[in-house]
Amino acid sequence: MWQRFKRWLQSEWPRWWPYVFAIAITEMVFCLFIEQSAARYVPVGLGLLFAVVLSAYVGGFWPGLLSTLIIAAPLKFIFDRQAISVPGIPLGPPSLLFWFPIVFGLMGAMISAFFEALHRSRRASNAARSEVTAILANISEAIVTTDALGRIQYVNRAATLLLRRDLPDIVGQPFESVVKIFDTTDTAHAVPLVEQVRSSGHTVHLGNHQVLVQDDGTHLAIEATAAPVRDLGGQLVSVVMTLRECTEQRQVETMLRERLVLQSRFGRIAAVVPGAIYEYRMGVDGRVQLLYASQAFEEILGFDPRLFADDASAWTAGVYPGDIAKVNEAIAAAMLALTPINIEHRVITPHRGLRWVVVSGVPLREADGSTLWHGIFMDVTERKRAEERLRTSQLQLRAALDAGAMGVITHNLDARSVELDPLARRLWGLDKVTEPLTYDHLTSVLHPDHLEPPTGSAEQTQFPTGLFSREYRLLLDGKERWLAGRGRVYRDEVTGTLFGAGVFMDVTQQRHIEAQRLHSQKLEALGVLAGGIAHDFNNLLLAISGNAKLLLADLPEGDPTRASAVEIDKAASRAAELVRRILSFSSGQEPSQTEKSVALRPVLDEALGLARAVLPTTVAINVSIPETLPEILASGGQVHQALINLLTNAADAAVAVGGGAITLEVVEVDVREALHHLSQEVKPGQYVCITVTDAGKGIDPAVLPRIFDPFFTTKASGRGTGLGLAIVHGIMKSIDGAVTVLNTPGHGVAFTLYFPTQQAAAMAATPVAVPAAQSRSMRILYVDDEESLIFLMTRTLERMGHRVTAYLSPAVALEKFMANADAFDLVVSDMSMPGLSGIELAERMLAVRPQLPFIITSGFVDAADVERAHAVGVRQMIIKPNTVDELSVVLATFLGEQDAPVVSAIPASPARAD
């Protein structure tokens, strides 16, 4: 009560009231005192100190001092006056009345000072208590104090809010009934916090798994601390509890624990990620920091990432100088738009040199304007090297494909879809197709003769895996094209889909060249056959012609049978001419003629003059010949025969369409190696080309491959032998030239003859002069396997005055010769005989007698036979069926000269054009 009253007085009254109170009390006591006599009320004067004490107790030092002065001053005056009138009391100092006011004043001052000190101590204690109370009232944590028995004495505002209870409902209540704390591991029993403090005697802390259960059943995670308060004797007087809600803290701790788990998991993931994960900040002031980097950072760049935690400028300085501009531009663009970045560049590392890295990141703008990057960067040096090797390999492959003019095809055999590269599209003629390609596009351009009949549905078609090789015949814009395909069929191991991949090449030219080669082989085979036939046929013609000449020599001029003999000789001559044509086709040259250079212009003029005389007048000949032409390595007869054949055929073609013009053009050409593909037979070198062009209907493409075949003709029966073009082909081949044909159905044909201007001439003999016949007789050994020729030549030579020994068997002839080698002056032998050939017979005989003149006759010889005969020592080779006449010339030569000439072939008359 007193305390409340005092607090009321101190709070409601002004600060000067203690002074008024001291004056009033002092005056009241003093008035009571002066009503009595001094002597009677001296003891009562001590009661005046009560006023001083009361004033000092209430007001402190200055009110007590004021009260003392108010009492002491009047007392001094009163005592001085009473001392004069009171008998028995001595006057003047140092009397009691003199010292009493002084002593009273000193005592009052001391009392005032004492109570001032007491007041100051009490005010300091109250101020401290008020400060502590204010602190406890405003502290954020809940404070609850209890007595030693656990009854609540004080709670602050935070505690009332935490407990959701009013202060009057809390004070005086047992702590456990108001503050219900449970452990999450045991929710059935409250935690006896006060009891734990009393039993343990020291501070108790709860903060792991405790919750506060409010009256409405709400559970709050809390931390609680209970501390004992003891008196000076060590006795427990109270317990102070501090309660703090830590729901957010528990959540943060949970998040931290989860984050630690995530960091651990992230660390394990980062350890196996093929690259380094990073967190990177770029400040607005240009400062760069590497906040985080996984372990792979140091492996890739060779730097400890912790070195760049505060300043990462050294890391960014490792960018290859040539890529700095590209990197800065990409980073600036990503920062401006806050878009992800993915850039590939080079870096310079201290431990591995120049490396390629791929940097990916996502920018995030922070509140202060800085940019935070999260991303990953990987070392892709090996991948770049592999890509470079792959790129180089692809370039090499593409160069090889381009050099080989090969197009690439990939196809899904199950879906029957096709993909062609640009070159393959051009090869298949599908370069203008825009929709996805299928097998139908490929089959649409196949030649009708190349299409295979369907054997089943696409699903039933079986494609064997492995390598495949096939040729395709296309028909594009009316022209044929051959493609060769090479590749492999394989099955995808994952999907099981059947795929094929390969290349295509245009082999049309190779096909044509192969056809020419096969045609040449066929012609060569036919030539060999023709040579064999001509050999045998020549023997018959020689017998017919020789006997006809003998018959004419025996018959007188007026004999009527001479006409028949003449016709027989003419028929034999025509047959010999036909055989000569066959021989020209088979060997391509006049066997008895030496190949030499010839001036072309006179031969052309002669051939054109003859052609204008014999060709129909409805056919004009347009000529284009340069003024000067080089000499060609051919004979005049060969040029004449080939040209007349072509002009005759061109005239027949022009007449078939009602007349027209023939064009003959002569030019010099230089065939390079690169142009050798025009024709397999045209070799690189210098040529004079003679082109004969007609304006006829052209040649049917179906028969074009056969035009050079012997005895093949499209003319009516009786108008051609079929040997004209075959002979032309043989002549051009024999002089290492060529003949080509350009056929334009409906517009005519152009034949071109390639005459070489420089080439080693084949071995040939120079015709010998025919000296005057001598009358000396020679001993001649004649060997031939034809009995008719034995009879003919024996009679002929004996009529010439020679002695002849003839044998059908070369073995018998050799035996007789070996028995007496000097019995013969000259040996004449056939080339082809059973057992021993003419050359083999000459080799054996000349081995015994090297200077013996040896002559070989044959219906067919080639350059190899001539060369071999020359090596053996044969003096002369005579071509049948002119053996009788030519042999007489040779015999006359031997009789007129001591030394026989070198091996040569007697020239025959040129063959007529067909």
Kindly report the three-state secondary structure assignment for every residue of 293-316: ECCHHHHHHCCCHHHHCCCCHHHH
**3-state SS class at 651:** helix
* Residue 422 CA: distances (Å) to CA of 24, 724, 743: 127, 47, 31
Instruction: Judge contact between 334 and 342, C-beta under 8 A.
Output: no
Q: According to the model, what pLDDT value does residue 592 have? A: 41
At 807, the pLDDT band (50, 70, 90 cuts) reads very high
Beta pairing class for 417-420 and 660-671: unpaired
In tens, the pLDDT along 680-724 reads: 567 778 889 999 988 788 787 777 777 776 656 666 544 555 566
Q: What is the mean pLDDT of residues 728-742?
A: 82
pLDDT of 323 strictly over 70: yes
Give 598 or 861, the one with higher predicted confidence: 598
Higher pLDDT, 110 or 785: 785
Instruction: Report pLDDT digits (tens) over 840-885.
Output: 999 999 999 998 899 988 876 666 777 888 888 888 888 776 667 6
Give the number of residues written for the chain.
Answer: 914
Confirm if 600 and 754 have CB atoms less than 8 A apart. Answer: no
Considering 206-210, 709-713, 827-831, the range whose residues carry the highest mean pLDDT is 827-831
The H or E element containing residue 387 is helix 381-403
- Confidence (pLDDT) at 455: 40
Residue 756 is inside which H or E element, if any?
strand 748-756
Residues of the chain with pLDDT > 70, as a percent, come to 76
Q: What is the mean pLDDT of the chain?
A: 76
Evaluate whether 147 touches 209 at the Cβ level (below 8 Å). no
94 prior amide bond cis, ω within 30:
yes
Residue 887 pLDDT exceeds 80: no
Q: Which of 122-131, 272-281, 579-588, 860-869 has the lowest mean pLDDT?
A: 579-588
* Residue 467: pLDDT over 80: yes
pLDDT confidence of residue 403: 75
**Looking at residues 6-25, what average pLDDT do you find?**
54
Per-residue confidence (pLDDT) for residue 896, from 0 to 100? 60
**In whole angstroms, how far apart are CA 228 and each of 26, 145, 147, 159?**
50, 10, 10, 19
